[in-house]
């Protein structure tokens, strides 16, 4: 049995509701950490930490600088695949 990056990423989502919620928002549209924190009603520090972890795993990436102070993030193709796999397995 081979293990794909998509299944590994999907298992990361299974362990964190914050990561799932963030990834779902970033699939809809690129957002800043502050926007995500506001929409998801989470502390900015939790969102920033989750984004850093997800960026290291290749689930999200920088889209562009929204301002000189905050970056805009978007979901990667791997992030999209991981969320689809997670949702498929969660049924």
pTM: 0.79
Look at residue 26 in the predicted model and tell me its pLDDT.
96
What is the distance between the alpha carbons of residues 77 and 80, in angstroms, rounded to a whole number?
5
What ranges do the domains of the chain cover? 5-90
SS3 19: helix
Look at residue 64 in the predicted model and tell me its pLDDT.
74
pLDDT, averaged in runs of 10, over the chain (91 residues): 56 74 94 96 95 92 74 92 81 64
Question: What CATH architecture does domain 5-90 belong to?
Answer: Orthogonal Bundle (1.10)
Sequence-separated (6 or more) residues with CB below 8 Å from residue 75:
23, 26, 27, 59, 60, 83
């Amino acid at each position: 049995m081979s293990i794909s990056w998509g299944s590994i990423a999907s298992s990361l989502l299974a362990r964190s509701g914050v990561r799932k919620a963030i990834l779902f928002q970033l699939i809809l549209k690129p957002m800043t950490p502050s926007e995500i924190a506001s929409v998801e009603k989470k502390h900015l520090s939790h969102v920033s930490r989750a984004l850093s972890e997800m960026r290291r795993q290749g689930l999200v990436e920088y889209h562009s600088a929204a301002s000189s102070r905050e970056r805009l993030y978007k979901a990667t193709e791997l992030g999209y695949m991981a969320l689809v796999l997670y949702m498929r397995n969660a049924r």
